[in-house]
Amino acid sequence: MADKGVKNGRRKALKLMFRDIGLAGLGGIVWGATATKLKASELTLRPPGALLEEDFLKACIRCGNCVEACPYDTLKLADIDDHASAGSPFFIPRTTPCYMCPDVPCIPACPSGALDAATIPKEESHEKKAIPDVEKARMGIAVIDQESCLAYWGIQCDACYRACPLMGEAITLEMKRNERTGKHALLEPVVHRDVCTGCGMCEHACVTEKAAIFVLPRAVATGMVGKHYIKGWEREDERRLKELKDKKEKTSKPEDILNNWESLFGDD
């Protein structure tokens, strides 16, 4: 009897063990499928040096090394509730912006090349060693909601301007006449997209309840005019126009001479 009880106990234990293993495996499959299907939100901000989003997600191995290397706890790894590809690094400027470390420690910590120093122009350090110039990083672009920005109301506020690490370059203040009062001047912040790094310090510093200035990924914040629009005053666009004309001439169909009577016999 005792032996039978022991055998039944072992059998039950084995069943429980295999059930747990099966559930764990199923859970892994479900999580893997979920993590694969989750795509990064278009509003996700990546660390400096990140490849273009599609390439970044392919290269990132979700190791978390960049998160550990960040001295300001700016970066975090996305979980299933973050509307970003699970396990990938991102940051929320309103909570903790990128403080633009001169040595950009998150980049060398990346083993896969998802963060690539080659995407950022380099500068000569004091040791004469070329390092990425974090001031040339392009994580995103700050955008101002003029309807909720206090400075556009006429209330004196330059919090974003003063918080910007490239003060006077990425964000400038433009003086305008206050048409509402006719007496006072407006000092309106203006973001210069060709300089803005997308670090988010302006968003972090904004005094409104919901930030009136916020950072968007460059792909979201910028438009695209189309190749058929040409800036006639720029030499590069003039060259592009000539290339388009040459291409059109090469690909255009030959004239249908049978239907082009005038080209053969003239007007007579």
- Per-residue pLDDT tens over the stretch 133-155: 999 999 999 999 999 999 999 99
Give per-residue pLDDT as tens, 78-89: 998 887 889 999
Give per-residue pLDDT as tens, 223-240: 888 877 878 788 887 787
Q: For 19-33, what is the mean pLDDT?
A: 45
Question: What pLDDT is recorded for position 234?
Answer: 80
Give per-residue pLDDT as tens, 230-268: 787 888 877 877 887 777 777 655 555 455 545 545 555
* Type of residue found at 230: I
Question: What pLDDT is recorded for position 23?
Answer: 43
* Type of residue found at 225: V
Alpha-carbon distances of 235 from 224, 238, 239, 242, 258, rounded to whole Å: 19, 5, 6, 11, 41
Q: For 29-48, what is the mean pLDDT?
A: 64
Question: What contacts 36, CB < 8 A, 6 or more positions away?
Answer: none
d(CA 49, CA 197): 11
Q: What ranges do the domains of the chain cover?
A: 53-136, 141-221
Which of 30-39, 54-63, 116-125, 215-224 comes out lowest in average pLDDT? 30-39
- Nearest in space to 135 (alpha carbons), one of 194, 53, 71, 82: 194
Choose between 108 and 256: higher pLDDT: 108
Is 50 exceeded by the pLDDT of residue 36? no
**3-state secondary structure labels for all residues of 28-48:** HHHHHHHHHHCCCCCCCECCC
Q: For 160-175, what is the mean pLDDT?
A: 97
Give per-residue pLDDT as tens, 174-221: 998 887 777 778 899 999 999 999 999 999 999 999 999 999 999 998
**pTM for the whole thing?**
0.72
The CATH number of 141-221, from 3.30.70.20, 3.30.70.240, 1.10.1660.10, 3.30.379.10, is 3.30.70.20
